[in-house]
Structure 1
């Protein structure tokens, strides 16, 4: 603590950064690690494991899911989502709560990223009428009933003007979703970490899936891990980092790709799913938050000068340990140090937090996704409330939410076996294609057949005898 305070004081006096912004020295072997220059002078470390597959299988055909929905945005900020795909919605609802709802309508209010997200309401079709009295109580009755004695008569409501939508988006496509096994040569897994992390936080997942035969790719974001750290704030904006991930994806992508993102890394996965919808087969969001546009907070501790943040770095690391882990024992401290989970310079941390500006990533942007998504949430996460992941589940077309009771924000480090098993089961999942209903042959009704049988044919008309004689 004293050392960091002295270094921060020297930084303020000399106007120089308290720590040199260079890639972190690594003692790891070079096997499986590559350094990719995405731009001149901008080098990212990537862990790329290509396993030796003794057996290569052909992928199954899987099932076809109909993705049909209409997204309408009104001028008052109201978002109206109507799901039209019967099989997609039915299977989704069955996997979530065991009930089948073929078609559903979701009506929500567009929220501000600086405010908490209210729950999404799914209106239900009711045959009775609902009125609100003067005291705010709800009264329900059939259309033919009259109000009881002593109640005020309802005044006729003025006719509302039909709202004109600001814009409408119609999605009508079909996706073939199949099982992704380690013996399939056309499958690649991409792991993207969040702020302050590195590819090392995926150590357990990378080893687990590479042993199963999967090809895995995990990059270090700029300024993190062993990637280059330019001393310029513009190098850490969302758009700059997203462009890095786009180039990395184009370099290593296969035919069927699965994206796994954590925290801030979920936003880059969503960006890639929009850029390459035909190549993204499935996606996993781990503690990624709600479907709101990114905007940096004006009142944040990360807006302080870099030298001050450097003085506060021990306090920030302790706060991250308290909020990021369900338990704060010696094991968690060792994980934090071993996996390089919060080892980033004060300058990069400040630039990363102030560069989280992405107005396009709102609810409409997420509602347009047709890729199936698995959401994993740690119950004890103090950074991302569970309500935000629940809202994300309701906005996405095909989403499955799994809450882990023993995990927090760094759930992949806290319970790696559970996360690995959950992800593997999701990779192997494929929808069941229901056979089309058999069309019964059209037969004549029995009554009609009986009537035709009872009809006596009329005798043929012949000319009278007198006419023949003439």
Structure 2
């Protein structure tokens, strides 16, 4: 810590940055690592593993088709109203989570920039519970509530406001199982701020042994990638453009994106840019579906020399907040996986460059790809309420919470994370049979009516009643059931 303090003091006195702006020499073997120049002078380290497949199998299963029908309405007062119109998507989602099916659903969400606005005037549609209660006349209303309703009914009815924006999604997605023996499948792993591709070590080794082709890049300034000297090189748009070029270079027919923390935003960006090529997506501790905006009151707004003096304190804080337990094992994991080992200049530029106003709730609600959300219960960076909000906004989202993990859950619980990922890769929705057409009964003629009446009156042709038919209770149940 004394060395960091002295270097930071010299930095402040000489007005020179202590940032090292050359690629870090990697001590890893060159096997499986590539250096890709995405732009002149901007070089990223990528770990690319193509396993030897003894038998290349084509997908044999027909998979399942999911109907993605959704209407998203944004009102001027800030209310977001989402109406799911597809029965298959809703049914498959609830089957995968709870084993129960639910009909079409609607979601009403208040946007983050409209917390202080007035409540919405009149909702587009009443909720299913209130509508059914009003229809059956079974709602329990007390005297105070009745008086309030009477007073409200006497007030002049507000005029329905026109929506500010309406988005209609109507498409059909075919989702199949992705096995390691399929040559058209590629897995992309994208880390967050302060990480490197080494944090995915357990996942890269596990899935490459299963036969998957895996691609994991180092973001600019992280790991062994180059670190430009200007802060504009670390904005969201600059890093997203890097990930887009990496994706175009290694993409297959069916691609699965796995992102962690800040890396989830880049996965969302790619899913919007290439909706036909993204087959599935995984968000690990990614947070809520809100537009990115740097915090004005943050420690990372301090000068670079001050951050360099505080680097040991920042590393200790990251260890305490990023892991559920802080022991020798966790410290060794940080050291071995090259996590939170970036310069103060890069760290400050990354945190102040997280500006992405397009990535709001509507942007995430437009995604039609199946998404698995994994959250560590002890995560102090991302609260679980944000991932729950994300699960409500997304069309096909499956939220899994691991009680023994924190923010760096892929390093703390590698076996549990690998199992969840593999099950999700192999998952495919069941193909539902088409609805049966109801056959209209032909009207009976006078002759058939006469013959039926004659048959019932003839005692010789009347069949003896069974015990079920003789019981009046059973008859009542059958009528009510019909």
The TM-score with structure 2 as length reference comes to 0.87
1:306-354 deviations in whole A, cap 9, x for unaligned? 0000000000000000000000000000001100111000000000000
Could you say which residue in structure 2 is the equivalent of 1:421? 419
Retained in 1: the 8 A contact 2:33–2:45? yes
Kept after mapping to 1: 8 A contact 2:72/2:166? yes
What are the residue-to-residue correspondences of 1:20-59 with 2, within 5 Å?
20-59=20-59
**Does the Cα contact within 8 Å between 2:78 and 2:114 map onto a contact in 1?**
no
Aligned equivalent of 1:289: 287
Q: CA deviation at 1:203?
A: 0.5
Distance apart, 1:24 and its partner CA = 1.6
Residues 75, 25 of structure 1: CA spacing in aligned structure 2 closer, same or farther, 3 A cutoff?
A: same
Distance 1:350 1:238 in 2: 13
Q: Which residue of 2 aligns with 1:392?
A: 390
Summarize the Cα distance change of 1:125–1:45 in structure 2 as closer, same or farther, 3 Å threshold: same
In the alignment, structure 1 segments of 5+ residues that lack a partner are: 116-121, 131-139, 455-470
Please tell me the root mean square deviation across aligned C-alpha atoms, in Å.
2.4
1:258 corresponds in structure 2 to 256
Q: Is the 8 A contact 1:112 1:292 kept in 2?
A: no
Q: Could you say what secondary structure the match of 2:362 adopts?
A: helix
Partner of 1:86: 87
Q: For residues 6 and 149 of structure 1, what CA distance do their matches in structure 2 show?
A: 69
Aligned twin of 1:105: 106
Query: How far apart are the structure 1 equivalents of 2:380 and 2:336?
Result: 22
2:383 is the alignment partner of 1:382: no
Q: Could you tell me which residue of structure 2 aligns to residue 125 of structure 1?
A: 129
Residues 120-177 of structure 1: CA deviation (Å, up to 9, x unaligned): xx944323459xxxxxxxxx97589995999688231311101100010000000000
Contact 1:369-1:396 within 8 A present in 2 as well: yes
TM-fit CA distance, 1:444: 2.0
Q: Is the 8 A contact 1:190 1:257 kept in 2?
A: yes
Comparing 99-108 and 254-263, the one that deviates more = 99-108
Correspondence list, 1:202-281, <5 A:
202-281=200-279
Residue correspondence of structure 1 range 230-379 to structure 2 within 5 A: 230-379=228-377
Contact 1:378–1:403 (Cα < 8 Å) also in 2 = yes
C-alpha contact 1:106 1:123 (8 A) present in aligned 2:
no
| Other structure's SS at 2:375 match | strand
Residue ranges of structure 2 left out of the alignment (5+ in a row): 117-125, 453-482
Do the aligned partners of residues 145 and 198 (structure 1) sit closer, same or farther apart at CA in structure 2, a change above 3 Å counting?
Answer: closer
8 Å CA contact retained: 2:321, 2:380: yes
Matches within 5 A, 1:426-465: 426-439=424-437, 441-446=439-444, 450-451=448-449
CA distance in 2, matches of 1:249, 1:149: 58
- Deviations along 1:63-105, one digit per CA (max 9) or x if unpaired, are 0000000000000111000000001011112222333212001
If each structure's helix is expressed as a fraction of its own residues, which one has the higher value? Answer: 2
Q: Distance in 2 between matches of 1:294 and 1:61?
A: 39
Determine if contact 1:235/1:241 at 8 Å carries over to the other structure. yes
